[in-house]
Chain A
Amino acid sequence: MQPEVADAVSSLKEKGVLGDPPASYLLRTARGDLVSVRLEIRALLYLGVLLLTTGVGLFVKENHDRIGPAAVASAIGLAAAASFLFVIRRAAPFTWERAPESGIAFDYVLLLGLLLVAADLAYVEVQFKLFGPNWPYHLLAVALVSGAAAFRWDSPVALSLALSSFAAWRGVSVNVLHGTLGPGRLEETRGNAVVCGALFVLVGIVLVRAEKKAHFDDVFVNFGLLLLLGGLLSGVFGERHSWGWWLLALAVVSAAVIAIAFRGSRMLPFAEGVVAAYLGSLRLLFEVVGKIHLGSAFFLVVAASAAGVLALLVAAHRRMKER
């Protein structure tokens, strides 16, 4: 219950600011007489997909010798097909605009189908070695299938799976929780992260310019910037000799991101650019000040630099509001 809101609705109704409807309906929600469990249903669906796909993964791992590869692959394929059947029957017609939501479960059942396809492809690849030494191509296949599904069924969830599978094909992990760019050789992974990131950002920009699925640009741009700036930062902190070049590249890219995001009043890319630029500048501070005196002076310079950035942020926020 929200007592202030309930009182306000009654008072606004008396003053004639709110008519009836909607005053009675708003009063019911403010008093807690009507509540939505939509978020809870979403949480149940997400947890269901997570548990089910984990169970399938374990089942395959523990039983594939006993049941046989053909039976396992067919069973997972059938389950994936059932998921896609649900999706196809519920889907709205294709549009390049934002499609109307086809039910709360739609995205999750689509995700389940895609994860089952991914598991099936990986299993078939391990058992039958379709791609041979080029086996990571199954990740590209997953990325393409997920990408096509994302565009056809207007699903940001499927798109995020597509982008992360594409990056994984190049050995890059988009999961920042892992704390590394990927399991491969750092130099290669770093380069791949920068290229993948730039590609994603570019696709996001093209979609907006072409006005085709323009609302996907949030996913493309933010995934892309995460990889691009993460790759450049990895170069700044991971390279002993050429870190200066990486810092220069980071400075140029961050400045461009900050400027474009500032002009478009897009907060998340703006914040990503600012944080990346500041983190990169810490390496410079360490090289310039830290090597002379790694003591209180260094930490005071770090604090002062953060205060400087903060002042700039406040000024930028004021300018954004004025425009």
Chain B
Amino acid sequence: MRAESAGFERAAAVREAAMRWRKAGVIDAGTEEAIGSDYPDPRLRPSAVWQVLVFLFVTVIVFGVLLALTVSGIRGSLGAAFVCLLVGGACVYATELQEQSLNLALRGGTGATALWACVLLVVAAGLFFLEFGALRGELGTTVLFAVSVLVWGTASWRWGNPVFALFSAISLFLLLARQPYGRLLWIGLGAGIAILAWRRLDDPSWPPPHRISAAVLLVAALAALYVAVNYWSVETWWIEKRRPGFAWTAPPRVVLVVSLIATALMPAAVLAWGIRTRRLFLIDTGALLLILSAVTLRHYVSLGPLWAVLGVSGALLLLGALVLERWLSRVPDKERSGFTAEPLFSDEAKMRLLQAIPVAATLSPSGPAPTEERFTPGGGSFGGGGASDRF
């Protein structure tokens, strides 16, 4: 990341915090202005909707040019690889130019050209490997994953994008799965990356985007570690199956027993780690792993009919959330061990509005055709909620 951009990102973190303090009424507008002048960030910062809009139109431009070049007489994989390389290279250049411009750096175009640059460079490498006999097939796929690790990793480091760090980590673990002892590599490197990323989470020498990338890498490494030790993954050789020439054999009993214990313990350990260090992203990761372990348990052990499992789980979650909120709120300062259910600096009115989005996406009913000629009961349904009239 350029030193100037890193400096702006540090100032932006302080300005953003000041804005949230002011919105929560902790400081006044004058104090926010004073903080803003102490921590200047001259970059133009449009709202998220603007950024998405610009992202979409830049994407249309990139693909318009790419398709125009592709259909203009290019033949074979090598020709297509050349076009991808050309447009990908142009996107890298465009990203660098935008990064250096105070008016363009945060408009949304930088993210679009950076994303498509990486995608096109990886695709170019894949098409190039198709053309050369030595790299065609399994070897080419393995090398392609290695290229993907490097491209996404370099882009993340250079342009400070945590999503690219995630893509790099996914490519790395897919690459490792194709190696001998892939599962052991997942465990070893997963643990190693987790430790390294953990050490960088609060490193003041790293700018905020790189620290967020470290958090993303930590979550990706924990996810890989969990997949490697999960009972179902071991029993089905899920990782080993990615390797060319895999031949199925029954997993050793001792390995299954160890994985059974790890499936039960790892989510609890991550959750406890998150609670002890007050890292919300670790608590969220632990909770997700806990759900996955519960699903694994349900896969092997019949806990009752599905409706009962879902109903009881839902009721327990509701009850758990209510109890947690009450427990945290029933003390004088409304906090226990550094945790609170109060909003701190979030905009609650906005949050209540945003709640409508997942509800509309998952629980909205799909209706029947309005003028059916014949009576066919059971047309409407209440989506993901399952409160359905289809009995």
Q: Are B57 and A310 in contact (CB under 8 A)?
A: yes
Contacts A34-B340, A61-B390, A138-B389 given; indicate if A132 touches B367 (C-beta within 8 A).
no
Which residue from A60, A119, A121, A156 sits with its C-beta under 8 Å from B355? A156
A165 within 8 A of B: yes
CA distance in complex: A104, B369 (Å): 37
Return B13 CB to nearest CB of chain A, in Å: 5
B309 within 8 A of A: yes
A57 within 8 A of B: yes
Which residues of chain A from 115 to 173 have any CB-CB distance to chain B below 8 Å in the complex? 115-116, 118-119, 121-123, 125-126, 129, 132-133, 135-136, 138-139, 142, 155-157, 159-161, 164-165, 167-173
CA distance in complex: A183, B13 (Å): 47
Q: By DSSP majority rule, is chain A's interface helix, strand, loop, or mixed?
A: helix
Q: Are A51 and B324 in contact (CB under 8 A)?
A: no
Assign chain B's interface to a size class: 35 or more
Q: Are B364 and A37 in contact (CB under 8 A)?
A: no
Which residues of chain B from 50 to 88 have any CB-CB distance to chain A below 8 Å in the complex? 50, 52-54, 56-58, 60-61, 63-65, 67-69, 71-72
What chain B residues lie within 8 Å of A29 (beta carbons)? 344-345
Return A288 CB to nearest CB of chain B, in Å: 16
B363 within 8 A of A: yes
Which residues of chain B from 339 to 358 have any CB-CB distance to chain A below 8 Å in the complex? 339-346, 348-349, 351-353, 355-356, 358
Q: Are A175 and B360 in contact (CB under 8 A)?
A: yes
Our count of residue pairs bridging A and B at CB distance below 8 angstroms stands at 379
Return B140 CB to nearest CB of chain A, in Å: 29
Q: Can you list 16 residue pairs at the A/B interface with Cβ under 8 Å?
A: A7-B204, A36-B341, A37-B341, A42-B351, A42-B355, A48-B314, A48-B317, A50-B363, A104-B321, A111-B359, A122-B382, A165-B364, A169-B370, A170-B370, A184-B370, A310-B58
Binding site for B on A (CB under 8 A): 1-5, 7-8, 11-12, 15, 17-18, 22, 25-26, 29-30, 32-42, 44-64, 98, 101, 103-105, 107-109, 111-112, 115-116, 118-119, 121-123, 125-126, 129, 132-133, 135-136, 138-139, 142, 155-157, 159-161, 164-165, 167-178, 182-185, 188-189, 192, 215, 218-219, 223, 267-268, 270-271, 274-275, 278, 295-300, 302-304, 306-307, 309-310, 313-314, 317
